[in-house]
Amino acid sequence: MNSLSQTLNSSIARKVVMALTGLFLAAFLAEHLYGNLLLYYNDNGAAFNEYSHTMVHNILIRMVEVFLFAAILLHVAQSIAITRKNNAARPVKYQVRKDGETSNWFSRNMGITGSVIFFFLVVHLRTFFVPYRITGIGEDGSLALVVKEAFANGWYSSFYVAASLILGFHLNHGFQSAFQTLGMNNKQYAGLIRNTGTVFAVVMGAGFASFPIIFYFNLLGR
């Protein structure tokens, strides 16, 4: 009846791509946060540097990294396509809308939070990934030191905190949304999924926001 390409271009299939890439990225975030937490070891960044080093030299991780970038691009490209189509579905807009009474702002504005996160990602890569992997602080240089230096800047740190919180909100909707899209939701589990998503989002948001705060105010006292 439907050709495969039709099926894969359907509004549900597109959302499934969003959900799968989203969940994959969320899993990466969790892993990333775990790695970053090593910064809190009182070992002058050794564990963290060691971890970063392994990440770069493990062939498997390098392969996953390719998927990671692909997922990011797919997630972004698909969201742009979906947003365009969705906007086109209502050519004449309402004069008055009280969306706030029926849905949550963050659920409606994943595009905005997503864009902020994308910008954040670019900045983030520019600060850490590019020097570490491309232009080079050298493989033996301490990435932990780079982190510390970066978060000495107040503006930079504030941006980081804000972006991390926005990431949290993005995840809060995205998590349950992904399960809904994948059909893994019903009245019985809805609460569980929502709560798990919220816990996850809070941990991620707060987790990533903690680094600039702690380093800027030097709360570890080192």
Q: Which is nearer to other proteins, 190 or 220 (CB)?
A: 190
Instruction: Show the tokens assigned to 121.
Output: 């990602």
Q: Which residue has the tokens 């775990």?
A: 34
Q: Shortest approach of other proteins to residue 74 CB, angstroms?
A: 16
Which residue lies nearer to other proteins by CB, 14 or 148?
Answer: 14
Please give the Cα distance from 136 to 131 (Å, whole number).
5
Least distance from C-beta 168 to other proteins, angstroms? 18
Cα–Cα distances (Å) from 21 to 72, 119, 174, in that order, read 7, 18, 11
Question: Do the beta carbons of residue 150 and residue 128 sit within 8 Å?
Answer: yes
Residues found near other proteins in the complex (CB under 8 A) = 1-2, 4, 6-7, 10-16, 82, 85-99, 101-104, 107-108, 110, 173, 176-177, 179-187, 190
Q: And the tokens for 96?
A: 């008055």
H runs (alpha helix) in 58-97 = 59-88
| Closer residue to other proteins, CB minimum distance, 82 or 162 | 82
What is the nearest approach in angstroms of other proteins to the Cβ of residue 109? 9
Residues 103/65, Cβ–Cβ less than 8 Å: no
Please identify, using beta-carbon distances, which residue of 58 and 87 lies nearer to other proteins.
87
Of 47, 106, 109, 50, the residue nearest 83 (C-alpha): 109
Q: Report the nearest approach of other proteins to the CB of residue 93 (Å).
A: 7
In this complex, which beta carbon is closest to other proteins, that of residue 66 or of residue 96? 96
Sign of CA pseudo-dihedral 10, 12, 18, 20: negative
In the complex, least distance from residue 165 CB atom to other proteins, rounded to whole angstroms: 20
Token pair, residue 69, equals 């970038």
The CA dihedral of 82, 87, 89, 95, to the nearest 10 degrees, is 150
Q: Give the separation between CA 22 and CA 80, rounded to whole angstroms.
A: 14
93/222 with CB nearer other proteins: 93
Residue 166 CB, shortest distance to other proteins, in Å, is 17
